[in-house]
Amino acid sequence: MTEEQKSFQRLNEIVFELREKCPWDRKQTKESLRHLTIEETYELADAILKGDYEEIKVELGDLMLHLLFYASLAQDKGKFNIHEVLESQIEKLIRRHPHVYGDMVGASEEQVKKNWEAIKAQERAESGKEHFQSVLDGVPDSMPSLIKAHRMQEKAAQMGFDWTDIDQVMDKVREELEEFAKAESPAERVDEMGDILFSLVNYCRHAGINAEDALAHTNQKFKDRFQFMEKKVKASDLHLPDLSLEEMDKYWEEAKKILKA
């Protein structure tokens, strides 16, 4: 047994020990853990954005714990165990990669994407879970909206439903902006703003930009600059709410200059 296998086995054993002996772990359910798992996933995403490998290692461990915990809960109910989870994933990866394990060696990236969706559609049809099968079924409803828009557009594009030119996409952005300007009721403005955001995500996709990553970067940039401004104002024995917008702007420009450097 390799060191990795020993560590995985020991962590799995600890999960069962905790669920037996720890009062908090003993009362957890898949429902009670769900929001904590989402939180851990976002913490991993933060560590990835920061490029902090030490933190990534910690957060991967936290997520691994959650995965084993869910598997142990299912095992208690006679549904499945972690071995079945891993075997199912192995089989799925081999089945969905005929360009690696089958007769499609040498396929282009575009062929791989189309074949991937075709295989998934076949899997859904064979499962018999639904009468109507959509290529968009694989996009979770609870996924953050920017990521969800990007994924739905990607999947639709793989079916051929897409603009052929990036200039057409920008024309659509401009069209949505004009429609927003003409909107009269609050409901219309909300609807048109959603269309603007969706079209911007589409433009990002055509430009090779991930909208979620771009906005996350800008959010962090804003946070860094605003906190710099707060610290500078405090160091001057001043209070931010007491400053005029023009005075704040001077600190903001200083933050932009220094942090950019």
183-199 pLDDT tens trace: 999 999 999 999 999 99
For residues 72-104, b (16+ Cβ closer than 10 Å) or e, as one string? bbbbeeeeeebeebeeeeeeeeeebbbbeeeee
With a pLDDT cut of 90, the percent of the chain lying above it is: 73
100-148 pLDDT tens trace: 888 777 778 888 877 887 887 778 777 766 566 788 887 888 888 999 9
- Quick one: pLDDT band at residue 69, thresholds 50, 70, 90? very high
**The pTM is what?**
0.66
Which of 94-103, 125-134, 165-174 shows the highest mean pLDDT? 165-174
